Homo-oligomer: A and B are copies of this chain.
């Protein structure tokens, strides 16, 4: 009822938005004062403040972020650029980033690139036009130009998973080389000698590093490497696994370089009626939630994605709020969880 009494009651679609000005009028102060109580930046006399607050309430005032942002020269937003949010690795990362951003009063603009350099470029430029304060990006090949433009224009960027060329950016990385080496060594310790790799794209840094870690482990054990490229995707993993199965002698164990390809590998194995564990040992890099749901549960190397995401946010806000400028790079270790898919060859017999 009280709502309806207001002179210019706001109902229906085309209702006039109430701005700082009408609040000021009703409270009998200047719009500058209203703005001051809004931002809490300057001191305002208690009684005046109360009048303003009351006026806001009565008029159902909502600040206009667009105006605030234009005035402040940036939006209270960060951009997240990932290749595909349907990859559980990024789903988790995005979830953690969203959470931390919300707590800090920032919104999140979601950008999927599909590993497409053009889409990435479009999104990066868009983020610049949108004047976000920062972006967390897991860059696909190239795109270094747009990243530099972003930084040039004063937007902070932290690279996630993969480095960007611009040395001014921060980076949160995982020790991919170590992970692949660890995975491979684990299988070697179980007595395997014919160990294949379903690897990711070597054009992507993570793919190349995981390949090298695998190769290093094989080399120092005096074993012959056997790698196929699965391009980090489900179908690729399926095809790559098929290729490994056709090798002679057929490997007795496989390291799979990410969670998506692991799905492909499981499919290929099922299609070929090859039993995981008894006929083919498996270690997966990435430890998605379904790794212990499948039968047998999969031995996996987990990245501390949540921690990594929080670290990325921390890095970002150190720049935004504390004006840090010297770039930082943080690396995280994977953690091996041994489940049933990687067995000792001895015991399997």
Contacts and interface: CB of A to CB of B under 8 A. Distances in A.
Interface residues of A, number: 54
Contacts of A125: 62
A153 B12 CA distance: 8
A17 interface: yes
A271 to B, nearest CB: 12
A202 interface: no
B98 A110 contact: yes
A75 B290 CA distance: 39
A37 interface: no
Contacts of A102: 112, 119
Contacts of A119: 102
Interface stretch (A63-71, A181-189, A250-258): A63-71
A200 B116 CA distance: 39
Contacts of A64: 70, 129, 131
Interface in A81-95: 84-86, 91-92, 94-95
Majority secondary structure, A binding face: mixed
A130 interface: yes
Interface of A: 10-15, 17, 62-67, 69-70, 73, 75, 77, 84-86, 91-92, 94-95, 98-99, 102, 107-112, 119, 125-126, 128-131, 151-154, 263, 266-267, 289-290, 293-295, 325
Contacts of A66: 66, 69-70, 73, 75, 130-131
Given A94-B85, A129-B62, A130-B66, A13 B154 contact: yes
A128 B84 contact: no
B107 A95 contact: no
Given A99-B112, A293-B263, A130 B84 contact: no
B108 A109 contact: yes
Contacts of A73: 66
Given A13-B325, A66-B75, 20 more contacts: A11-B152, A15-B152, A17-B153, A62-B128, A62-B153, A63-B129, A65-B131, A66-B69, A66-B70, A66-B131, A70-B70, A86-B92, A98-B112, A107-B126, A107-B130, A108-B110, A109-B109, A290-B293, A294-B294, A295-B295
A84 B109 CA distance: 16
A298 B63 CA distance: 50
Contacts of A91: 85-86, 91
Contacts of A84: 95
Contact of A12 (B67, B69, B152, B267): B152
A94 B129 CA distance: 23
Contacts of A130: 65-66, 107
Contacts of A17: 153
Contact of A289 (B69, B129, B263): B263
Contacts of A109: 77, 107-110
Contacts of A15: 152-154
